[in-house]
Structure 1
Amino acid sequence: MAATTHTVTNQPPPLVGYDVFANDPALTEGVTRYIAAERLDEVREELGTLGKAAGSAHAQHWAEQADRHPPVLRTHDRFGHRIDEVEFHPAWHRLLGHAVTAGLTGAWSRPDGHVRRTAGFIVWTQAEAGHGCPVSMTHAAVPALRAEPELAAEWEPLLTSPVYEQELRPVAEKGGALAGMAMTEKQGGSDVRANTTRAEPLAAPGEYVLTGHKWFCSAPMSDAFLVLAQAPGGLTCFLLPRVLPDGTRNAFRIQRLKDKLGNRSNASAEVEFDGRSWARRVGEEGRGVATIIEMVAATRLDCVSASAAVMRQAVTQAVHHSAHREAFGGRLIDKPLMRNVLADLALESEAATTLALRLAAAYDGGTEQDRHFLRLAVPAAKYWVTKRCTPMVAEALECLGGNGYVEESGLPRLLREAPLNSIWEGAGNVQALDVLRALRREPEALNAFLTEVGAARGADHRLDRAIKGMLTELADLEGIEARARRLVERMALVLQGSLLVRHAPSEVSDAFCASRLGGDAGAAFGTLPHTLDLAAVVERARPVIDC
């Protein structure tokens, strides 16, 4: 009886054995656009190898295992010695090791490093997002450490190394190292100037001992941490190693691991510095925020990139399911209403990916114009792209119906992950206020931003109107704080629209401008004007199982 009743029909094949990079036109076209011609073949091959790995059965199995077996805190060994170690499932180490080996912490030392690294980060994050935290922290620590050349010379080769070594040993004995961050405290959160952790100078120049409690410590299994503490000269940045040069453990007490909504494979902790926690100063005393700001900017770009990755994986799953599932006499992907939903999701994904790559290209450019552009574009993009991630993933899950609500589909893991990047490195209000701060203090930033969006002027009347409306908002900064979110949303949408008009196929840019800038769509996904070429937009997002 069971053999005759349990016949499986009308289910999509597993989305496994496909090239995550090659199946993403927005990503492949962006890489072609920004990578120098003499390196393009090399980078495509590198990303294609990573893309095949990300779409493999092995990576999907590792992701499931890492999520189902979250890290465990081991405060003491069997003999009662304090060890403060975080134990991870082997699948986590495979994912993180693959990321490090693929060069996802080494952008600073490679030509076109940020574009190739951002593209790789988007590809590999689609395998599993939780391990991206230590990858991002390690990558972003480099520009902060450069404020102290001696420290940078010691640590940068290790942080950018493609060697992954999980054991805690003196870094002089390791071929590669990871970095974490411990900035926020329970009384201050994003207001780091309210921090109370103290730093007392020692006799040796640049050496201190720290006393205090950190409410959030990212990647507590790392080899070193960037920490903010109050020195005699004010809030200052420090590098705190996990293992001291003589091989003994630094006083780094992990009080507990956070029980988080998502990002379950990754450890976040509360840590205690007990007055014996040895650290080295990074930058000048009292310049802690200025020193750490380069790290924050780099991790905010990773928030955009990681959200773009989560979006892309969600829409990939939704389109794949709809292409193989039949209902009411035909494939879901051919139903006008489902096609509208899928096209809307695909637009959101492509806009996020295109914007992330443009920001990465500006990092590689390194000119004053690029720097001023990033000052406004990064917080605006971080605000908007991360905000759009959660409703978009929820809609993609709905495309699978009940199948999407089941853990085995992977969509619940994506949905739990989706809100993270809108909170990490400053929630929405922090980003909006940062944009206002830049507008008031750095007029060159606005000029660079307007130059970028103005490159598409005259190409689409809806974009032109949106730019005019944004300029009207910018002309009146009186009482702007209460409407800052609306302004930043407009800035992000105009920037995405400008990029898509210049670089995306006409069916994509037309649909984006009609719905996001022309106001010809509703608040929910799936309300695009029916006269658009939605079938072409969906087909562009459809994955092909080919490896």
Structure 2
Amino acid sequence: MTVSDPVSRLGTHEVFNQPTPRGARDLWANDLALRDHAGAAGADGARLARVGALYGSEALLQAATDAQRDLPRLKLFDRSGRRVDEVEFHPGYHKLMQEGLGAGYASVAWTGQPGGHATHAAMAYFQAQLEPGVACPLTMTYAAVPALQADQKLAETWIPRLSSGIYDPSMRPIEEKAGATLGMAMTEKQGGSDVRANTTRAVREGDVYRLNGHKWFCSAPMCDGFLTLAQAEGGLTCFLVPRWLDGERNGFRIQRLKNKLGNQANASSEIEYVDALAYRLGDEGAGVRTIIEMVHHTRLDTALAPAGLMRAALAEAHWWVEGRSAFQRRLIDQPLMRSVLADLALDTEGALAVAMSMAAAFDREDEESRALARIGVALAKYLNNKRCIAVVGEAMEVLGGVGYVEETPMPMLYREAPLNSIWEGSGNVICLDVMRALVREPETGAVLRKDLESVSGADRRYDAALKGHFERWPGLPQEAEARWFSESLATLLTAAALIRSAPNAVAEGYVTSRVVGARGSVHGAVSGLDVDAILSRLANGS
């Protein structure tokens, strides 16, 4: 059956000068920057070609729309008044989970194939463009694997199911399932990022523990298990809390779902543990050291997600200006608009380049790469997320009033823009982590400097800025300058990634406008860019 085009000639006017809605798009084939930087990082291009087409398909775009429109619903009791503590989702949410896990989002990094983390990182970039809320349980399932290796028995039970690529949302004990997901519950209201202030108590009961306490923030409460922190006799300790037991449900009580600004398809919740059965993961008192492995990997995704959000917003803006005219000229042909878009493109590609370069460091086995990944992913997360809010806001303005309307993706993207800067360590926490890493692991600073100096000679302005950074801060700065110090390092790290794997127009434009600072304070307040060359990277299917 053929469906006719929508009616353009209405009773009072004719609809024209309106771009045709975008519909399906290929998130791999239409993204030259991703293909360049994923290739440089060693990602699996053949797999990403399949996944990019899938994530841009009409079916998944509709599933994302449905998951965002029909939000999770909390079901605390059944009709007889018994507690069930469940969250109900639209089928679109389940489809996105199924396709994401099936594509290898949570598993490809752990299969042993080359470029696994880089391939995963590109999928996180895709997911941010499609439906960012679903990324939360997918990312935590991916990131839990290294933390679980602290206990051989738990690892043998959980890791094969977390990395199976199978989505099984049924409410059954882990031993009865072929696939599983895993979440995290760390934050308490009195401490926030200061998890050592947690008051949830853990009491040993034979080979297991019983937890009692409150968690102010628990992401994705329908996962099969949760890594959580509680105070045991030996101090703050990491535990694995299974969601479902054989028989009566575990003491996992949902208090409410959080009414968040964005990320609404994800059922973030407030919970209480009431004599909840838990397994210790790692030694008593080593909770932070144990769970930091999970946090380290979730930070990789919080560095990629803003790149995906920026890419989605920029692609929407580019599509609009190609199909829209004003003052007798197409918007894409107007010099000021081209300057704005090119400037947005530099932040967008810079964010992708630095995050993918850190994903490549995750894939390498040597100690230097591990050290680089530890500090580099924190720097990438910090800068990418600070840039994201301005990029998405400016891209929304490109569309004018229609960009402020919920029928476009721009309001959703704008609501998501601050999220990854807040989660997994807010800006101040990240900058202090950078400082702490340089103190506790002196080799980290040497490895970072080596990476920054690896592109020396390619651009004398970059070389001068790098020299200027270390002259300004020969050692660590005072705490009050930690943001300036971290921003400087992250900007140089981004420039180095672009110099390595981006065309000259992009790398030189980034150095001109971000490293040298030859620009004003808002997007489009620039000169000296090769605008045509930068925008040509958007011209093959934004």
**TM class by shorter-chain length?**
over 0.9
Root-mean-square deviation (Å)? 1.4
Whole-Å separation in 2 of the counterparts to 1:75 and 1:6: 52
Whole-Å separation in 2 of the counterparts to 1:310 and 1:247: 43
Aligned residue pairs total 533
Relative to 1, partners in 2 of residues 1:473 and 1:434: Cα closer, same or farther, differing over 3 Å? farther
Q: Secondary structure at the match of 2:529?
A: coil
Unaligned runs of 5+ in 2: 1-7
Whole-Å separation in 2 of the counterparts to 1:431 and 1:385: 12
Answering whether residue 267 of structure 2 is matched by residue 267 of structure 1, we say yes
**What pairs up with 1:308-319 in 2 under 5 angstroms?**
308-319=307-318
Answering whether residue 391 of structure 2 is matched by residue 398 of structure 1, we say no
Q: Secondary structure at the match of 1:250?
A: coil
**Contact 2:465 2:515 (8 Å CA) reproduced:** yes
**Contact 2:322 2:330 (8 Å CA) reproduced:** yes
Q: Secondary structure at the match of 1:253?
A: strand
2:501 counterpart (496, 500, 503): 503
Whole-Å separation in 1 of the counterparts to 2:379 and 2:330: 39
Q: Secondary structure at the match of 1:219?
A: coil
Residues 135-179 of structure 1: CA deviation (Å, up to 9, x unaligned): 011111111110111111110001111110111111111110000
> Counterpart in 1 of 2:525?
527
**Contact 2:200 2:211 (8 Å CA) reproduced:** yes
**Contact 2:372 2:444 (8 Å CA) reproduced:** yes
1:14 counterpart (11, 21, 30): 21
2:201 counterpart (187, 198, 216): 198
Answering whether residue 430 of structure 2 is matched by residue 427 of structure 1, we say no
Residues 262-301 of structure 1: CA deviation (Å, up to 9, x unaligned): 0011011111012x20000000000000001110110111
Whole-Å separation in 1 of the counterparts to 2:276 and 2:190: 21
> Counterpart in 2 of 1:91?
92
Q: Secondary structure at the match of 2:240?
A: strand
Whole-Å separation in 1 of the counterparts to 2:424 and 2:61: 28
Answering whether residue 3 of structure 2 is matched by residue 5 of structure 1, we say no
**What pairs up with 1:147-186 in 2 under 5 angstroms?**
147-186=150-189
> Counterpart in 2 of 1:129?
132
Whole-Å separation in 2 of the counterparts to 1:387 and 1:181: 24
Residues 238-272 of structure 1: CA deviation (Å, up to 9, x unaligned): 0000111x243101000001000000110111110
Relative to 1, partners in 2 of residues 1:187 and 1:543: Cα closer, same or farther, differing over 3 Å? farther
The runs of 4+ residues in structure 1 deviating greater than 4 Å are none
Whole-Å separation in 1 of the counterparts to 2:9 and 2:465: 61
Further displaced range: 54-63 or 221-230: 54-63
Q: Which amino acid aligns with 1:433?
A: L
**Contact 1:217 1:269 (8 Å CA) reproduced:** yes
Report deviation, 1:2. Answer: 7.3
Residues 369-401 of structure 1: CA deviation (Å, up to 9, x unaligned): 011112221111111111111111000000111
> Counterpart in 1 of 2:228?
227
Whole-Å separation in 1 of the counterparts to 2:243 and 2:279: 12
> Counterpart in 1 of 2:358?
359
> Counterpart in 1 of 2:122?
119
Report deviation, 1:4. Answer: 4.5
Whole-Å separation in 2 of the counterparts to 1:16 and 1:44: 24
Q: Secondary structure at the match of 1:277?
A: strand
> Counterpart in 1 of 2:46?
45
Q: Secondary structure at the match of 2:100?
A: helix
> Counterpart in 1 of 2:470?
471
Whole-Å separation in 1 of the counterparts to 2:112 and 2:15: 50
Q: Which amino acid aligns with 2:99?
A: H
Q: Which amino acid aligns with 1:224?
A: G
Whole-Å separation in 2 of the counterparts to 1:525 and 1:510: 17
Report deviation, 1:13. Answer: 1.7
Q: Which amino acid aligns with 1:364?
A: D
> Counterpart in 1 of 2:539?
542
Report deviation, 1:97. Answer: 1.2
**Contact 2:24 2:61 (8 Å CA) reproduced:** no
Further displaced range: 51-60 or 435-444: 51-60
Report deviation, 1:46. Answer: 1.9
**Contact 1:319 1:538 (8 Å CA) reproduced:** no
Q: Secondary structure at the match of 1:184?
A: coil
**Contact 1:507 1:537 (8 Å CA) reproduced:** yes
**Contact 1:51 1:124 (8 Å CA) reproduced:** no
Further displaced range: 233-242 or 125-134: 125-134
Whole-Å separation in 1 of the counterparts to 2:12 and 2:127: 40
Whole-Å separation in 1 of the counterparts to 2:183 and 2:486: 29
**What pairs up with 1:275-424 in 2 under 5 angstroms?**
276-424=275-423
Report deviation, 1:499. Answer: 1.2
**Contact 2:128 2:306 (8 Å CA) reproduced:** no
> Counterpart in 2 of 1:256?
256
> Counterpart in 2 of 1:62?
63
Q: Secondary structure at the match of 1:456?
A: coil
Report deviation, 1:333. Answer: 1.0
Whole-Å separation in 1 of the counterparts to 2:93 and 2:238: 30
Report deviation, 1:543. Answer: 4.5
Whole-Å separation in 2 of the counterparts to 1:456 and 1:228: 42
Further displaced range: 467-476 or 287-296: 467-476
Structure 2 length normalisation: TM-score?
0.96
> Counterpart in 2 of 1:108?
110
Whole-Å separation in 1 of the counterparts to 2:37 and 2:445: 24
Whole-Å separation in 1 of the counterparts to 2:440 and 2:39: 35
Whole-Å separation in 1 of the counterparts to 2:270 and 2:217: 5
Whole-Å separation in 2 of the counterparts to 1:62 and 1:7: 32
Q: Which amino acid aligns with 2:110?
A: W
Whole-Å separation in 1 of the counterparts to 2:272 and 2:160: 28
**Contact 1:170 1:247 (8 Å CA) reproduced:** no
Percent of aligned pairs with the same residue?
Answer: 50
Q: Which amino acid aligns with 2:447?
A: A
**Contact 1:304 1:381 (8 Å CA) reproduced:** yes
Whole-Å separation in 2 of the counterparts to 1:32 and 1:377: 19
Whole-Å separation in 2 of the counterparts to 1:82 and 1:92: 24
Q: Which amino acid aligns with 1:257?
A: L
Whole-Å separation in 2 of the counterparts to 1:124 and 1:191: 30
Answering whether residue 186 of structure 2 is matched by residue 187 of structure 1, we say no
> Counterpart in 1 of 2:30?
23
**Contact 1:121 1:306 (8 Å CA) reproduced:** yes
Structure 1 length normalisation: TM-score?
0.95
Q: Secondary structure at the match of 1:94?
A: helix
Whole-Å separation in 1 of the counterparts to 2:16 and 2:453: 52
Report deviation, 1:532. Answer: 2.3
Whole-Å separation in 2 of the counterparts to 1:290 and 1:76: 37
Whole-Å separation in 1 of the counterparts to 2:376 and 2:197: 27
Q: Which amino acid aligns with 1:521?
A: R
Q: Secondary structure at the match of 1:407?
A: coil
Q: Secondary structure at the match of 1:5?
A: coil
Q: Which amino acid aligns with 2:509?
A: A
Report deviation, 1:31. Answer: 2.4
2:148 counterpart (145, 148, 163): 145
Report deviation, 1:57. Answer: 2.2
Q: Which amino acid aligns with 2:371?
A: H
Q: Secondary structure at the match of 1:147?
A: coil
Residues 22-43 of structure 1: CA deviation (Å, up to 9, x unaligned): 11112111222232xxxx7xx3
Q: Which amino acid aligns with 1:516?
A: R
Whole-Å separation in 2 of the counterparts to 1:217 and 1:264: 14
Whole-Å separation in 1 of the counterparts to 2:100 and 2:450: 35
